[in-house]
Amino acid sequence: MKLEGFGLFVDDMAVMVRFYRDVLGFAIKEAEDTSNVFLEKDGTLFLLYRKRDFEQMTNHVYSYCSGINGHFEIALGVENYAAVDRTYAEVIKAGATGIMEPTTEPWGQRTCYIADPEGNLIEIGSFNKE
């Protein structure tokens, strides 16, 4: 098997598409008014599924995390430490929720965390000082 992408179950499709497209730079691959929307980032397929539509399609009801949640993270890499700081400031200004400001960890990574509009965690980091 080959990993081609991953999906995120969402409540408000329009808000989430705008965030991932406009704030994080994901490319949208189809209209945003469908029950699932395909986006792409650096060759990885990223799918947004509207929760109620997915439940109807699969004929199951699921439990979901709410608020800021630690169910998983999306990790985005940038070129160096300065880019971590710059990107964090840019995405916060554009509407992301700050979770952890840029910090250099003992293992040599400069990293920070934000949350998307539905509380999913996103890491932005780099192992390159320069």
Domains and CATH numbers, the chain: 5-58 (3.10.180.10), 69-126 (3.10.180.10)
CB 77 within 8 A of CB 44: no
- The answer for residues whose C-beta is within 8 angstroms of residue 2's C-beta and 6 or more apart is none
Strand partners, 50: 10
Range in 5-14, 29-38, 88-97, 104-113 the model is least confident about: 29-38
Is this model's pTM higher than 0.85 or not? yes
**Residue owning tokens 């965690």:** 121
Tell me which of 71-75, 104-108, 111-115, 125-129 is least confident.
71-75
- Encode pLDDT of 44-102 as tens digits: 999 999 999 999 999 999 999 889 998 899 999 999 999 999 999 999 999 999 999 99
Which candidate, 101, 73, 80, 76, places its Cα nearest to that of 89?
101
| Closest to 122 (Cα-Cα) out of 61, 71, 81, 60 | 71
Q: How far is it, in rounded angstroms, from Cα 119 to Cα 62?
A: 18
Tokens read off for 48: 């947004």
